[in-house]
C-alpha cells in the first residue's frame, strides 16, 4: 500500500488527524491494534475546551456534540466541607467547557472516517516502523493473517503512551521527562442523575474525589486511591460510602446514587518527550505526552497537536521544501504541552493527599486552596487554563 500519511492508532488523535487531512484533500491510512468496539467503548475523560468544541464543529463532526454536549460555565472546588464556585465564563470573557465523553468523540470521528471512504484497519498486529529518516518511511504489520506494508511520505504516531512509535525513535535522538504520583483514580459510571449542574473537585482528609457527569441520567465519579489499588477490593457499597464521605458538603449537597455500570483504576503520571518529531515520524497525543487527569487536559492537548500537525503536513505535502514547519510543529507543541503540564501538576498536587507527606506540605496545600477561592487573580489563572488557551 502507498499513502501520503500513515497514521498509527485510531484513538482521538489518529481519527481527528485523519479527518483534518481528509478535509485538506490529503490521503491517509489508519491502522489500529484494537477492535473498533474496544475503541468506541473505552471509557475515558469527558471535558472539552471551547477550542476543541469549535474545531470538532468546523471539521464536520460536531452535530451530536452540539445536541448532546453539556455546556458548563463554572466548576466547584470543595475543601473543609465547603463548596466554592469558580465562575469560568465570568472570569474568561464568556469561555466555558463542554461535557461529552471522549468515546463519544471517537464514535463521531469513526462515523466521519467511514463516510470519507478512506481506510481504517482494525486488529493489526506486529507493527514495525523503518526508514524514518528517509523520504519514504515504511510501516509493516500483520492484518487478517497476512503481512502488509504501507509506504508513506510521513508517519503520524498516534498510538498512545504504550504504542510502538515513540520507542521506534533511537534513544539518543530524544529526551524524556517524567514524574509519577503515588496514587491513582478509581473511576465509576453510575445510572444516577447528576446532583449538581457543574463538576465538583473535592479535597477531604481521606483524599480527593471528583463529581462529574456524562448525561442527564449518568454520573461519572472518581476517588483518589493507591496507584496499585485492586478494584476487586471495592464493592459498590464501599465506593458509595467513600464518595459520600469525601464529596458531601455542609450545605447539604451530596451526589445522587444509582447502579454502578462500569468501574476501573487508572494510574497518574506526567510525561513529555522532546522533540515530538524524528525524521518523517511525528508524534501526537498520548504517544508524545501524558498529563494527570486532574486538569482535564489530555484529550484537549491531543486535539491541539493534530490540528497543528495537519497544518504542518499540508504545508509540507503541498511543496514546502524544508523541515522548518515540522520543527515548528514540535517547538510550538512543546510550549503548549509544558503549560498544560504545569497546570495539571498544580491541580493534582493541590487536590490530593500523599501518604507520609510532611505537615508543612499539608498546611501549604490548605493555604493554596484558601488563596485560590479568596483571590480573583488566582481564580482567573485557574479559569483561563481550565477553559484552555487559544490554538497557536
Q: Which does 285 bind (CB under 5 to 8 A by kind): ligand APR, ligand PHB, none?
A: ligand APR
1 vs 112: CA distance, rounded Å: 22
Q: Does residue number 223 form part of the binding site for ligand PHB (CB under 6 A)?
A: no
Q: Which residues contact 367 (CB under 8 A, 6 or more apart)?
A: none
| Distance set, CA 277 to CA 121, 133, 166, 177, 387 (Å) | 24, 11, 9, 16, 28
The yes-or-no answer on residue 84 being catalytic is: no
Instruction: State which of positions 278-317 bind ligand PHB (CB under 6 A).
Output: 293-294, 296
* Catalytic, out of 72, 107, 204, 352: 72
371 as an active site residue: the answer is: no
Q: Which of 6, 14, 137, 275 binds ligand APR (CB under 6 A)?
A: 14
* Of 18 and 293, CB closest to ligand PHB: 293
Residues 259-288 that bind ligand APR (CB under 6 A): 285-286
Joined grid coordinates for residue 280: 518523517
3 or 13: CB nearest ligand PHB: 13
**Cα distance between residue 260 and residue 73, in whole Å:** 27
Indicate whether 46 belongs to the interface with ligand PHB (CB under 6 A): yes
Between 297 and 365, whose beta carbon lies closer to ligand APR?
A: 297
- CA dist 195 and 261 (Å) reads 18
Residue 97 touches which member of ligand PHB, ligand APR, none, C-beta under 5-8 Å by kind: none
Q: Specify burial of residue 328 (Cβ count, 10 A radius: 0-12, 13-18, 19+).
A: middle
The answer to whether 254 touches 187, Cβ cutoff 8 Å, is no
Identify what 14 binds: ligand PHB, ligand APR, none; CB under 5 to 8 Å per kind: ligand APR
DSSP string, 16-71: HHHHHHHHTT--EEEE-SS-HHHHHH-----EEEHHHHHHHHHTT--HHHHHH-EE
What single-letter DSSP state applies at residue 85? Answer: E
Virtual torsion, Cα 171, 175, 179, 180, nearest 10 deg:
-20
Question: How many residues belong to the chain?
Answer: 392
Nearer to ligand APR (CB atom), residue 162 or residue 335: 162
Contact partner at residue 8 from ligand PHB, ligand APR, none, CB < 5 to 8 Å by partner kind:
ligand APR
Nearer to ligand APR, 14 or 184 (CB): 14
Residues 17 and 284 sit within 8 Å (Cβ to Cβ): yes
Which of 101, 298, 333, 388 lies at the binding interface for ligand APR (CB under 6 A)? 298
Given 45, 53, 188, 340, the residue binding ligand PHB (CB under 6 A): 45
Under rule CB under 6 A, residue 12 binds ligand APR: yes
Catalytic residue positions, numbered: 72, 201, 293, 297, 386
Q: Which residues bind ligand PHB (CB under 6 A)?
A: 45-47, 199, 210, 212, 220, 293-294, 296
Amino acid at each position: 500500500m502507498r499513502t501520503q500519511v500513515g497514521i498509527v492508532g485510531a484513538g482521538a488523535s489518529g481519527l481527528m488527524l485523519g479527518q483534518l487531512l481528509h478535509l485538506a484533500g490529503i490521503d491517509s491510512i489508519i491502522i489500529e491494534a484494537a477492535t473498533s468496539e474496544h475503541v468506541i467503548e473505552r471509557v475515558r475523560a469527558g471535558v472539552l475546551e471551547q477550542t476543541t468544541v469549535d474545531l470538532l464543529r468546523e471539521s464536520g463532526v460536531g452535530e451530536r456534540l452540539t445536541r448532546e454536549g453539556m455546556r458548563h460555565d463554572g466548576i466547584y472546588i470543595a475543601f473543609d466541607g465547603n463548596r466554592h464556585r469558580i465562575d469560568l465564563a465570568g472570569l474568561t470573557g464568556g469561555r466555558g467547557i463542554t461535557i461529552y465523553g471522549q468515546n463519544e468523540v471517537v464514535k463521531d470521528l469513526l462515523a466521519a472516517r467511514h463516510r470519507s471512504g478512506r481506510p481504517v484497519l482494525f486488529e493489526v498486529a506486529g507493527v514495525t516502523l523503518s526508514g524514518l529518516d528517509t523520504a519514504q518511511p515504511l510501516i509493516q504489520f500483520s492484518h487478517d493473517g497476512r503481512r502488509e506494508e504501507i509506504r508513506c511520505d510521513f508517519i503520524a504516531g498516534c498510538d498512545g503512551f504504550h504504542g510502538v512509535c515513540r520507542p521506534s525513535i533511537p534513544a539518543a535522538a530524544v529526551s524524556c521527562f517524567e514524574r509519577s504520583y503515588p496514587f491513582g483514580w478509581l473511576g465509576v459510571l453510575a445510572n444516577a442523575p447528576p446532583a449538581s449542574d457543574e463538576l465538583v473537585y473535592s479535597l477531604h482528609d481521606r483524599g480527593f474525589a471528583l463529581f462529574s457527569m456524562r448525561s442527564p441520567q449518568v454520573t461519572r465519579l472518581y476517588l483518589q486511591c493507591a496507584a496499585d489499588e485492586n478494584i476487586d477490593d471495592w464493592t459498590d457499597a464501599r465506593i458509595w460510602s467513600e464518595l459520600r464521605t469525601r464529596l458531601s458538603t455542609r450545605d447539604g449537597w451530596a451526589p445522587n446514587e444509582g447502579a454502578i455500570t462500569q468501574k476501573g483504576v487508572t494510574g497518574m503520571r506526567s510525561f513529555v518527550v522532546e522533540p515530538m518529531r524524528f525524521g518523517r515520524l511525528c508524534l501526537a497525543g498520548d504517544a508524545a505526552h501524558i498529563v494527570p487527569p486532574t486538569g482535564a487536559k489530555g484529550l484537549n492537548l491531543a486535539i491541539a497537536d493534530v490540528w497543528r500537525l495537519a497544518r504542518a503536513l499540508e504545508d509540507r505535502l503541498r511543496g514546502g521544501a524544508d523541515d522548518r514547519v515540522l520543527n515548528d510543529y514540535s517547538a510550538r507543541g512543546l510550549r503548549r504541552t509544558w503549560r498544560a503540564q504545569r497546570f495539571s501538576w498544580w491541580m493534582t498536587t493541590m487536590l490530593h493527599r500523599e501518604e507520609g507527606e510532611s505537615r508543612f506540605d499539608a498546611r501549604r496545600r490548605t493555604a493554596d486552596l484558601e488563596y485560590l477561592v479568596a483571590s480573583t487573580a488566582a481564580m482567573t489563572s485557574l479559569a483561563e487554563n481550565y477553559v484552555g488557551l487559544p490554538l497557536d
